[in-house]
Structure 1
Amino acid sequence: MAEQAADYDLLVIGGGINGAGIAYDAAGRGLNVCLCEMGDLAGATSSSSSKLIHGGLRYLEQYEFRLVREALAERETLLKIAPHITQPMSFHLPHQSTVRPAWMIQLGLFLYDHLGRRNTLVSSRRIRPDEDSPLKSSFQTVFEYSDAWVDDARLVLLNALGAREYGGVIYTRTRVVSGYRKNDLWHIGLEDLLTGKTREITARSLVNAAGPWVTEVLSGLSEKSANKIRLVKGSHIIVPAIHLGDQAYILQNKDKRVVFVIPFLGKYSLIGTTEVEYSGDPSKATCSDEEREYLCQAVNDYFRRTISVEDIIWEYSGVRPLFEDEASDARAVTRDYAFELEDKNGKAPLLSIFGGKLTTYRKLAEHAVGRLSRYLPIEAGCWTGNRLLPGAQPVDQCLLELRKNYPWLPDEVATRFAHSYGSLAHEFLGEVFSVQELGIHFGAGLYQCEVDYLIHKEWVMEGDDLLWRRSKLGLFLRAEESGVLVDYIRSSVQRALSSGMLNRL
């Protein structure tokens, strides 16, 4: 009997950083790939991070040397392949002798400097704060080291765009409702949550990258799972800028946790994160009163300028699906990742992803596709470390081109385009010759032509997709402006659905 043809070589469940990274890697190796996400791309954990590409300095205390080494090397790779949405960042660590002795920090920073490849980031050093320091005068010693910042949600989006460029199919607002093996293939039932349409597709292999929902998805597909995840909630708050300058701060707390204070969007400070055991629906996670007070107190212990919960402009919480390693403290749970692979008679493999962190997503994707290589006709080896992500262009170079080609474009808008889209900005600016031709101005430099591009090319279906994930313009638009934008998106999506212009089931 001839082998039944499959719709896809690989179906990926989950549109967070791991799922998008795997889809991109696999599509670039010649596989016919489909990704389905029940909400928006980066709609949960992957847009709720501290926005850092970092080795995890504190993971050295937990002897996570392999993870730290891999993460340190990945900093340089991500700065190279996505220079428009990443940037090096200097971190200042005020010494608190009652938490960790200076020799321990110096040893940790020595390892941090030498465990991984470091081409562009400068080495650590010990400095003495001057009179202009925002820190309290009691802090006379500060350790400085380098890591990097990333727009986390756009990193996910760029991997999805990359997968599509290689022929992959991306379905958002699409839920897996059933799954079973038959004739050596996976038969997966999908439901379009926008239209209500259902469809069954077949795939030769299946990846479960559902993040906090990984065990829930797995329970509907297999009864053999032995691995578990531990849900840990991390919350962040945004306040008016606490300090001037481009450096971030890493604050040591008495409970051995650390809190970052990171410059954000030129006028704010991003403060986080907490680590709290969580149960319940991950999509319902919110910042608690205790977390708000905890983060404010961490800042007030170190900085001259104090803050309170009344200063909070925005807050967000994400649930991290950490691999359960039986650690008693949520702070000590490993950030490493684990795979669970099972098949039926050597066919129809199911690979489930447990744990992981934003910084190492690319290596996780390489390893995941590698684990599936004996089942699939993979054409190439590892490749993503040397391929620029869509739009990748140094910000200075992109700004120069935008100012040359569109001299009428407001400078603050050009700067945002350079940091968000890189060279992709030309896709919606190419035929525009004046501000008036940008269309409706929704406020804060957001114009109709950009919104239309995001709907038709970047899977924007609802207001929050644009306001809080494709951008952070929700911080800058007034309530009435946001309302007009939401109405425009809703009506535009409905028209596109009616005319068949959006790629749905």
Structure 2
Amino acid sequence: MSTAPAAPAAPFPAEPPAACDVLVVGGGINGAGIARDLAGRGLSVVLCEKDDLAAHTSSSSTKLIHGGLRYLEYYEFALVRKALAEREVLLKNAPHIMWPLRFVMPHDAAMRPVWMVRAGLFLYDHLARREVLPGSSTVDLRTHPAGAPLKKVFRKGFVYSDGWVDDARLVVLNAIDAAERGAAVLTRCACTDAQRGAQHWQATLRGADGVPRALRARALVNAAGPWAAQFLAEHAHAAERKSLRLVKGSHIVVPRLFEHEHAYIFQNTDKRIIFAIPYEGAYTLIGTTDVEHHGPIGAARIDADETTYLCAQASRYFERPVAPADVVWSYSGVRPLLDDESGDPAAVTRDYALELDTRQAPLLNVWGGKLTTYRKLAEEAADLLAAPLGTTRGTWTAAAPLPGGDLSAWIGAPQRPDTDFERFVQALTRRHPQLPMPLARRLARGYGARVETLLGPIGSLEEMGAEVAPGLYEAELRHLHRHEWARCADDVLWRRTKLGLHYDEGQRAQVAAWCVAHWRDAPAAPAAVAGDREASWT
């Protein structure tokens, strides 16, 4: 069976069909991944998201494709093995938005002993097969570049491999692939009611225009993330079968603290860990916290205690202290974790559970999960639905590049994801010499081989239209609206790109004003200066 999608569809449908095989509620990573997998198996799919794709938890991660080294201490060997195996699958299928990253763990004699760290890294190296990522090693921080910004008391370190991902773009690429395989992807469209019958669900969808639309679906997937239990009780009129524990994770961004390209993993005195990661060239990303969240899910924000905690823990290691005044941006997300009755939020499992109920029309609830295992979760979800929906098409996503991920037309046969991407950048600059290198690299990262959908026959910067803000041209804004469901400035500045971090307030306002002036479905007022509901500037 061919798994190649149809030619890019533009614009994507704004209206739902009257009926479908599966309605997926939730446009985060799990919902988008499930919609993609099901559409690739020939099922008719509608994906609805009440806000923007990845507007909440899925754009508020630490942005890592990783096995979860610290989960070994909680004996989560099956989860770590599954996540480790997925790292290289994802790296190979999306080398433009993912890349290998080496992590340095300075050894603190007051924390875990050397033997324990080495044992953990040995397991991490060998629980799953590696072809691309190198194994762990010990380094002398007195001579290694990663030791330069650290306090001199740290002399020994351990280095291991994981991966980095642009989390929000990962969601969008899954949604694009789902749409190109026939799914209807509806953003700013809430499922306000779902009545279950013996053979079908009768759902009511309500878009930004407020008009209710009826949809008949053979099956319903509840992938609403932290809203999953609420959706089930209030809109699907079903009893909650699992207990979710909502845990807020917050991150801070500060001006770059080091020049090299390694990331750090720091052990804290409370037995937790935080990461310090190179971010957007000029910055360092520090996170995350684990705090019980009891307020409105969509209103999660970092608090002063979390900022102080992250700064203090980073300052234990860096020679130059990190202070709250250094923070230029912060964001928070609410993780929907399976409640395993752990007292410490950091110890709550990051694994997932899929619950299929076929007593009437099929209902599949998605509980928990983590970014790294989204593809496997989606595959298992589609397998569960295959029998009740009568499809025999099998698994296909493991070897299917995400949109833009197949670089072979530009560089020939793939070799390694990281070196393949660098060869692609060189090929792009040869084909489009009019692009300044920073712009060429950013477009290559964002769109991969699909960059030609944006650039097409453009032969000069002038042909890309007005430069609305530094490095952001009208051609890209139109592309994001037409092909990627961008409807306001926040969609562009904080999810489709991270340009909002590089712009000042006036430049962000320019983008917002352009969107309002040129997009008929843009909000009537410019995007809020404070960014989306789970992020803020300082």
Q: For the superposition of Structure 1 and Structure 2, which TM-score range results when normalised by the shorter chain? A: over 0.9
Counterparts of 1:129-140 in structure 2, within 5 Å, are: 129-131=141-143, 133-140=148-155
Counterparts of 1:103-502 in structure 2, within 5 Å, are: 103-131=115-143, 133-182=148-197, 184-193=199-208, 195-219=209-233, 220-344=235-359, 347-392=360-405, 393=407, 394-494=420-520
Paired residue type of 2:498:
K
Checking the alignment, whether the CA contact within 8 Å between 1:53 and 1:149 is kept in structure 2 is yes
The separation in 2 between residues aligned to 1:497 and 1:109, in whole angstroms, is 49
Checking the alignment, whether the CA contact within 8 Å between 1:443 and 1:481 is kept in structure 2 is yes
Specify the SS of the correspondent of 1:89. Answer: strand
The separation in 1 between residues aligned to 2:338 and 2:494, in whole angstroms, is 28
Shift of 1:6: 7.3
The separation in 1 between residues aligned to 2:363 and 2:462, in whole angstroms, is 52
Paired residue type of 1:7:
A
Number of residue pairs matched? 491
Shift of 1:496: 8.7
The separation in 1 between residues aligned to 2:523 and 2:138, in whole angstroms, is 58
The separation in 1 between residues aligned to 2:391 and 2:33, in whole angstroms, is 16
Paired residue type of 1:476:
H
Gapped runs of 5+ residues in structure 2? 1-16, 408-419, 525-538
> After TM superposition, where is structure 1 displaced by more than 3 Å over at least 4 residues in a row?
495-498
For residues 204-238 of structure 1, the C-alpha deviation after alignment (integer angstroms, 9 at most, x for no partner) is 00100000000011103143322110000000000
The separation in 2 between residues aligned to 1:120 and 1:343, in whole angstroms, is 41
Specify the SS of the correspondent of 1:12. Answer: strand
Checking the alignment, whether the CA contact within 8 Å between 1:6 and 1:204 is kept in structure 2 is no
Paired residue type of 2:475:
C
Q: Which residue of 2 aligns with 1:36?
A: 48
The separation in 1 between residues aligned to 2:497 and 2:426, in whole angstroms, is 22
Specify the SS of the correspondent of 1:375. Answer: helix
Q: Which residue of 1 aligns with 2:89?
A: 77
The separation in 2 between residues aligned to 1:228 and 1:150, in whole angstroms, is 29
What is the root-mean-square deviation of aligned Cα atoms in Å? 1.5
- CA spacing shift, 1:107–1:276, aligned 2, 3 Å: same
User: Which shifted more, 182-191 or 61-70?
Assistant: 182-191
Counterparts of 1:15-26 in structure 2, within 5 Å, are: 15-26=27-38
Specify the SS of the correspondent of 1:494. Answer: coil
For residues 326-345 of structure 1, the C-alpha deviation after alignment (integer angstroms, 9 at most, x for no partner) is 1111011000001222133x
TM-score computed with the length of structure 2 as normaliser: 0.89
Paired residue type of 2:83:
A
The separation in 2 between residues aligned to 1:247 and 1:305, in whole angstroms, is 17
For residues 367-388 of structure 1, the C-alpha deviation after alignment (integer angstroms, 9 at most, x for no partner) is 1111111111324211101000
Q: Which residue of 1 aligns with 2:5?
A: none
- CA spacing shift, 1:439–1:323, aligned 2, 3 Å: same
Shift of 1:482: 1.3
Paired residue type of 1:78:
L
Q: Which residue of 2 aligns with 1:503?
A: none
Checking the alignment, whether the CA contact within 8 Å between 1:336 and 1:355 is kept in structure 2 is yes
TM-score computed with the length of structure 1 as normaliser: 0.95
For residues 230-285 of structure 1, the C-alpha deviation after alignment (integer angstroms, 9 at most, x for no partner) is 00000000001111111000000011110000001111100000000001212111
Checking the alignment, whether the CA contact within 8 Å between 1:444 and 1:473 is kept in structure 2 is no
Paired residue type of 1:30:
G
For residues 147-206 of structure 1, the C-alpha deviation after alignment (integer angstroms, 9 at most, x for no partner) is 00000000000000010110010000001111102351000000002x222101010001
Paired residue type of 2:283:
Y
Checking the alignment, whether the CA contact within 8 Å between 2:515 and 2:522 is kept in structure 1 is no
Specify the SS of the correspondent of 2:306. Answer: helix
Paired residue type of 1:203:
A
For residues 97-152 of structure 1, the C-alpha deviation after alignment (integer angstroms, 9 at most, x for no partner) is 22211111100000000001111100101111125521111111101100000000
The separation in 1 between residues aligned to 2:451 and 2:64, in whole angstroms, is 24
Shift of 1:400: 2.3
The separation in 2 between residues aligned to 1:395 and 1:462, in whole angstroms, is 30
Checking the alignment, whether the CA contact within 8 Å between 2:33 and 2:375 is kept in structure 1 is yes
